[in-house]
Amino acid sequence: SDAPVLHEQKDGYSVITLNRPDRLNAFNELQHQQLRAALDACEADAGCGAIVLTGAGRGFCAGQDLSDRDPTLIGENPDLGKTLETFYNPLVRKLRAMPKPVICAVNGVAAGAGANIALACDIVIAAKSAKFIQAFSKIALIPDAGGTYWLTRLVGEARAMALALTAHPLPAQDAADWGLIWRAVEDDQLMEEATRLAEGFASGPTRAYALTKRAVHAASTNSLDAQLDLERQLQREAGRSDDYKEGVSAFLEKRPANYRRK
């Protein structure tokens, strides 16, 4: 298919592929719209327990398609705040709020907003040949799509600042060693590894994963007291689920748990 986003439904999870390989899967408006629709479909589908996001061809995503930002076409006074508000910010919020795990399989270069969309996912694994590039400073922009938030929290301000100011292409292994991503794997192992994770989540307690995401996300801005209160509230909710009953019963009966996504 030559659609800019491919959505494959597997047994219990979905694979969403950015598919404009000639442009290293840079975002145009149609790609944004189709990605949003695919994510909405996954969110609404109780049969979908996890999402794998990846890219077609040799890149993961080169950020905004700059051919749609040609100054001779868009004129003197572009409002990039508006495009963030319309496309990138809702995408980041949707990935974070998705009530099931989102695995990003970074198959190749992730640049500009492409890098930061990857970092908005819950678990990032990257092929060793991939690089993460905060390319923005090269075109006189600032890191967006959450970049300044992810980088400062994940790798600290010293590394965040240098990555942002220099646009240094950070190899996947360094990204993993620094704690920016979960793992760097051999290129030919990437999809196998992502699939293994997704299959695990697909047969796991989806509701508990959603609650876990909420708790972890709240931690970076909460006080300890507020976070302990939140854990109490969310654990109360988890403890009343059928999945919890099943999980404990399965443990006591020494058998695998049979979760039903409740």
User: Which residues of 10-148 form beta strands (DSSP E)?
Assistant: 14-18, 51-55, 59-61, 102-106, 109-111, 123-127, 131-133
Tell the smallest beta-carbon distance from residue 213 to ligand T3D (Å): 25
CB nearer ligand T3D, residue 79 or residue 188: 79
Q: Catalog residues that contact ligand T3D under the rule CB under 6 A.
A: 23-24, 26, 62-67, 69, 80, 83-84, 109, 111-113, 133, 135-136, 138-139, 141, 144
CB nearer ligand T3D, residue 122 or residue 144: 144
Rounded to whole angstroms, the Cα distance separating 228 from 74 reads 49
CB nearer ligand T3D, residue 141 or residue 257: 141
Cβ neighbours of residue 16 closer than 8 Å, sequence gap 6 or more:
5, 6, 7, 8, 35, 38, 39, 42, 51, 52, 53, 54
The closest of 122, 117, 142, 10 to 55, measured between CA atoms, is 117
Q: Are 96 and 117 in contact (CB under 8 A)?
A: no
Tell the smallest beta-carbon distance from residue 220 to ligand T3D (Å): 23
Rounded to whole angstroms, the Cα distance separating 75 from 13 reads 43
Rounded to whole angstroms, the Cα distance separating 208 from 199 reads 16
Q: Which residue is nearest to ligand T3D (CB)?
A: 63
Q: Are 120 and 92 in contact (CB under 8 A)?
A: yes
Tell the smallest beta-carbon distance from residue 218 to ligand T3D (Å): 27
Rounded to whole angstroms, the Cα distance separating 6 from 17 reads 5
CB nearer ligand T3D, residue 32 or residue 100: 32
Tell the smallest beta-carbon distance from residue 101 to ligand T3D (Å): 25
CB nearer ligand T3D, residue 135 or residue 194: 135
CB nearer ligand T3D, residue 58 or residue 245: 58
Tell the smallest beta-carbon distance from residue 167 to ligand T3D (Å): 8
Return the CA Rg of the chain. 19
Tell the smallest beta-carbon distance from residue 117 to ligand T3D (Å): 9
